[in-house]
């Protein structure tokens, strides 16, 4: 069994900067498990975590902490 990845460096995603980040559901109708892209809805960027286990652990923690799950990226006017 693989050790649990240390995701503490990403805690800002569900704490101090949670309002700016969301999980974008990129395959809403495919498979049993949703596929998410970590997305900054304020500046329209994505956070790519190259290690698959770490990426999945961060996404799982974002879900546990109640971070938003979105189907589309909000328009730029949504933050005004």
| Encoded tokens for 66 | 């109640």
C-alpha 54/C-alpha 38 separation (Å) is: 12
Strand order in the sheet with 45-47: 45-47, 36-40, 21-25, 69-70
Pairing of strands 36-40, 45-47: antiparallel
What pTM was computed for the model?
A: 0.85
C-alpha 39/C-alpha 67 separation (Å) is: 11
Q: Per-residue pLDDT tens, the chain, 80 aa: give them.
A: 678 899 999 999 999 999 999 999 988 666 677 899 999 999 999 999 999 999 999 999 999 999 999 998 777 665 55
């Amino acid at each position: 069994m693989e050790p649990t990845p240390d995701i503490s460096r990403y805690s800002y995603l569900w704490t101090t900067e949670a309002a700016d980040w969301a999980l974008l559901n990129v395959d809403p109708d495919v498979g049993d498990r949703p596929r998410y892209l970590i997305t900054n809805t304020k500046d329209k960027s994505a956070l790519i975590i190259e290690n698959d286990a770490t990426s999945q652990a961060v996404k799982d923690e974002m879900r546990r902490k109640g971070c938003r799950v979105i189907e589309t990226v909000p328009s730029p006017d949504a933050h005004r």
